[in-house]
Chain A
Amino acid sequence: MAEEAQLYQKRLAIHPRSVEGRFRKLKTGVVLLAYGVYFLLPWLRWSRPTGVNQAVLFDLPGRRFYLFDLVVQAQDIFWLAGLLVIAATLLFFVTGLAGRVWCGYFCFQTLWTDVFIMIEQAIQGERPARLRLAKQPWDAEKRRKMLLTWASWLGVAFLTGLTFTLYWADAPTLVGEFLTGAAPFAAYATTGFLTATTFVMAGLAREQVCTYMCPYARFQSAMFDRDTLIISYDPRRGERTAGRAKLGRDLKTRDERMAAGVGDCVDCGYCVQVCPVGIDIRRGLQYQCISCALCVDACDTVMDKLEWPRGLIKYTSDNSLNDRPTRLLKPKNIGYALVLMLTIAMLGWSIANRAALDAVVEQIRQPLSVQLSDGRVQNSYEIKLNSKVAQPGRLRIAIEGLPGAELDMEGLETIELGAEQRLRLPAKVRAMPVAGRERQSFEFVITPLSGLGTEPIRRPAAFYAGQ
């Protein structure tokens, strides 16, 4: 043992080199798309009769989520469960087939880290310049460059945090309030918290989030098998029998190298330098690898330059690396696909068939029934009405199936229900008790007169004659 074992490990800073290629283009495209959607969506206006004109708005105090023409009410929150099942199954399905696609291209940690590295590079220069700057003492140049980098990061982080809060209130109003100090405390707290976490996670912690914090990064290996797409170095081609070697005398062309048993890997180290998590892909599949495919671009660039075939580092599977057939149609993948389609179908059906009006009738149980002066018995109910449509409507409440009974809502039997309004109304039913029938079943019938759909809603209820 050369040195005393350390219980705490200092992070080795990673300064990834930039690279060009098809995967880099794809990733840049995803970043632009994701940023475009994330930052602009709260500003998109949408016309609604209720006057809520933000296309996507999560109105927590009003218990309503606005998603374009869909308004999600509080009682529809089980859709969220469907959405989460879909998201989880999709994640498992894709991971089983194509590995860590989420991590490499779509995860916000990857996207924001990517952008922060771009900023870093624009200000401090390419990898060698950044390495030099890191070693440099804190002179004027380093102070200036670091300050500028951190300030830019902070700017992006602040916009990220602020934009997130805009999804929860009217965006133009909230920005105005935010800048004049009139916004609610929650807006400042959320923006502040997200600014801080974005800055820390994307600027400072970076790959440590994936390595140490992310649960998905830890359990995704459970979805992997030998047929799953991975990014891998082809050791047989890269190493052959005599291992890898730099381009040197007598080892210039592929033919020379093959003759000497030397592999195609010229040990340029480009794949290691571009890696945002700081691993050497040539050491095989590692849990830190987020499958960002930048090493593929790096190696392809070098192979193109040498005019050797691409694919020394490539998307492949363990089976095809070892000349075994890759099987994708297997129970696991089919199972994920079936669950996925089933959940999407159920959620779609539920959303498409949502009712315009919700009604619940609850019996008041204390007291269950009460004697009236004229000998009749009275039961009380509470009717909860909830309009899910964006225009006002009218409805009528009546009872059916209780002969000789009287419904008394003190004149509110026919009412106007405002757009997306919720109401709880008391109702009383009076009837002469029938000998031998302690409990009689009947129905409340809530008939939409205008604007609330066409189907009458029937809700079963019971009438109790005794105490």
Chain B
Amino acid sequence: MSDTTTTTSTPGAVQTTGHAWDGDLQEFNNPLPRWWLWSFYATVVFAVFYWFAYPAWPFGKTWTKGFTTATYTEGGQSHTMRWNTRSALLEDLDSGSDAKRQRQYLDKIAQTDYAAIAKDPQMVAFVNQAGKRLFETNCSACHGRGGQGVVGLFPNLVDDDWLWGGSYQAIETTLKHGRNGYMPAFGSVLNATQIDDVANYVLSLSGVVPSSEASARGQKIFTGATGGCYMCHGDDGKGIKSMGAANLTDKIWTIANVPAAQSPADKLAAVRAVIGNGVQNVRKMPAWGERLSAAEIKLMAVYVHQLGGGQ
């Protein structure tokens, strides 16, 4: 047991606490410097200050909010909030140094015409960086992170086929106002053989199947009053951009996934399905004019244009 009998110590040796256990067990005393203790008290004081400055103590279903605030502008209106990591982030996104620099670039984009932007390596580099983030936030949910889209649902933006036009102006219009892709269903207009013939003709347009009697019959339906396909897709099947009608003569398939179908019969079935059912209620691009600023729309037009090497 501990007792506090005086223990012998040689001069110059380390001091002991003065206790002796079991007769001879002693404890060295290496005292902490006093300032060390004061630094500890200082951290306690700092913690108390912190409780008042920042969100700290939970009580009931709420918590102490702290007196520090964060200010940011959204929609032209200035908001001041109690500090929390979200409001701090909003403040940084609104008035941080990077946000200011980004705004300078956006202003420059807004004042420069499309042709000049594409010629300036600096601005192209900025469009690529900023455009990628904007694309991921706004567009990638449908078009995919890289803009590759989903066949049958969302157009591929990386290829060189532009349903609604690939010029800067056309892309800007698409972004601002959205698009509504539509093809009527021919299942009730044409009979099964006719649909089969038209499908054969469509496949022969891009050389997937060779021309045959069936495709010749299909061409008559396509370009004649029976089918009336030419009204949207054109006499030559190259599509009409103002209607969003696809070019059927190139190697790109946007609705019927012909390249993925293995056998000729499957390819034919894929095209037949599109002709029979039409394209309805799937090709709906929302309008972004309300959500993005004019400069951001312009930036995105350049970004999307360069994704596929526009027209």
Contact = CB atoms under 8 A, between A and B. Distances in A.
A and B part of one assembly: yes
Nearest to B122: A423
B124 A9 contact: no
Interface string A1-33: 100111111110000000000000000000000
B252 A1 contact: no
A375 B161 CA distance: 12
Interface string B151-172: 0000010111100000000000
Contact of A366 (B31, B33, B121, B148): B148
Interface in A356-393: 364-367, 370-375, 378, 380, 382
Interface in A388-414: 408, 410-412
B155 to A, nearest CB: 12
Interface stretch (A109-117, A214-222, A342-350, A424-432): A424-432
Interface stretch (B12-20, B58-66, B68-76, B288-296): B12-20
Given A372-B252, A410-B309, A426 B128 contact: yes
Interface string B123-147: 0110011000000000000001111
B23 interface: no
A212 B144 CA distance: 58
Given A366-B145, A373-B160, A373-B161, A9 B121 contact: no
A10 B119 CA distance: 72
B121 A372 contact: no
A9 B34 contact: yes
Interface in B189-244: none
A5 B20 CA distance: 13
Interface residues of A, number: 39
Contacts of A450: none
B286 interface: no
A378 B121 contact: no
B161 A6 contact: no
B10 to A, nearest CB: 13
Contacts of B247: 373
B6 interface: yes
B160 A372 contact: yes
A8 B129 CA distance: 58
A41 B121 CA distance: 37
Contacts of B158: 367, 370, 378, 380
Nearest to B159: A370
Interface in A89-110: none
A373 B248 CA distance: 10
Interface residues of B, number: 43
Contacts of B250: 373-374
Contacts of B159: 370-373, 378
A408 B309 contact: yes
Nearest to B119: A411
Interface string B24-58: 00000101111111000000000000000000000
B251 interface: yes
A454 interface: no
A376 to B, nearest CB: 9
B259 A371 contact: yes
A378 B124 contact: no
Given A370-B158, A423-B121, A212 B148 contact: no
A415 interface: yes
Contacts of B36: 8, 212
B302 to A, nearest CB: 10
Given A1-B7, A371-B251, A382 B128 contact: yes
19 contacts: A1-B18, A5-B16, A7-B31, A7-B32, A8-B32, A8-B37, A9-B32, A9-B34, A366-B145, A367-B144, A370-B159, A371-B252, A371-B259, A372-B160, A373-B159, A373-B250, A374-B251, A410-B309, A421-B122
Interface of B: 6-7, 9, 15-18, 29, 31-37, 97, 118-119, 121-122, 124-125, 128-129, 144-148, 156, 158-161, 247, 250-252, 259, 306-309
Interface of A: 1, 4-11, 61, 205, 208, 212, 364-367, 370-375, 378, 380, 382, 408, 410-412, 415-417, 421, 423-426, 428
- The 4 A-B pairs with the shortest beta carbon distances in the complex, nearest first, are A373-B250, A366-B146, A9-B31, A367-B148
